[in-house]
């Protein structure tokens, strides 16, 4: 099983280019994030369990297919919220559970501030949603929480990842699959991805005060 999939598709590259551009407005940013989330989810859902079902069309009977996997989406607040709706459109029976993690501004270390994962029967697969995988600290904290829930299959969907972030997740959680739009080479001294797109949460929710 390939653990890291960089989804190499002209539409991914096209939408990512607009997403990264400094002049892209929050309105367009949210729309692009939705489109990119659908493209990543198309790849990430390719191995969902499905069973044959018998149906009647208006003309005849036939065997079709029904996805039976119990799926949960776990967005990391805030920026992961922008990825939920397009994936729910593709997987309407999915559950959604929220995790709140922010990076401390001085240390860039993750701080968990909201965790409502249930204690009940875990799903078959979790799609962990966060557009940015920078140092990997937030994703690793989230994966630990999801593993404590008892989930066996975790797929992390990120629009942009740094090389360091991918390495952090694959080193600490070798069973986690990563689906990413593009892997960027660097982190700057504030631990922002370079070239990146800046702060995904701020650009999604129009709370940008500084674009360094
Ligand atoms: C961003 C991003 C990730 C995290 C990535 O969130 O959405 O959660 O940083 O960085 P890491 O890989 O180094 O942990 P942020 O902390 O800015 O919170 P926000 O979504 O509320 O803006
Ligand atoms: N969080 C973001 O939103 N962007 C980065 O480049 C790093 C962390």
- Residue 107 is among the residues annotated as catalytic for this protein: yes
pLDDT (tens digit, 9 = 90+) per residue, 42-97? 999 999 999 999 999 999 999 999 999 999 999 999 999 999 999 999 999 999 99
pTM of structure: 0.96
C-alpha to C-alpha distances, 62 to 48, 53, 127, nearest whole angstrom = 22, 8, 31
Alpha carbon of 67 to ligand 1 centroid (Å): 32
- Residue 17 is among the residues annotated as catalytic for this protein: no
**Is residue 172's pLDDT more than 70?**
yes
Ligand 2, residue 199: give the atom nearest the CA.
3
- Residue 199 is among the residues annotated as catalytic for this protein: yes
Alpha carbon of 64 to ligand 1 centroid (Å): 41
> 192: Cβ below 6 Å to ligand 2?
yes
2 — pLDDT class (breaks 50, 70, 90): low
> 117: Cβ below 6 Å to ligand 2?
no
Counting residues of the chain whose pLDDT is more than 70, the rounded percentage is 97
**Domains by residue range for the chain, with CATH:** 4-48+69-205 (3.40.50.2020)
């Amino acid at each position: 099983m390939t653990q890291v999939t960089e989804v190499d598709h002209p539409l991914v590259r096209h939408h990512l280019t607009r997403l990264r551009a400094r002049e892209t407005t929050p309105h367009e940013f949210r729309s692009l994030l939705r489109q990119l989330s659908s493209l990543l989810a198309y790849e990430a859902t390719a191995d969902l369990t499905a069973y044959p079902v018998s149906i009647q069309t208006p003309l005849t009977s036939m065997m079709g297919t029904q996805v039976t996997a119990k799926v949960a989406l776990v967005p990391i607040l805030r920026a992961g919220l922008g990825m939920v709706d397009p994936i729910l459109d593709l997987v309407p029976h999915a559950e959604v559970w929220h995790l709140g993690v922010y990076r401390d501004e001085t240390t860039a270390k993750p701080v968990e501030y909201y965790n409502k994962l249930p204690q009940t029967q875990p799903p078959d697969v979790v799609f962990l949603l966060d557009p940015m995988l920078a140092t990997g600290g937030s994703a690793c904290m989230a994966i630990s929480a999801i593993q404590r829930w008892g989930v066996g299959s975790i797929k992390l969907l990120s629009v942009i990842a740094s090389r360091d972030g991918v390495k952090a997740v694959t080193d600490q959680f070798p069973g986690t699959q990563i689906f990413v739009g593009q892997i960027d080479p660097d982190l700057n001294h504030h631990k922002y991805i370079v070239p990146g797109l800046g702060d995904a949460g701020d650009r999604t929710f129009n709370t940008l005060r500084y674009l360094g």
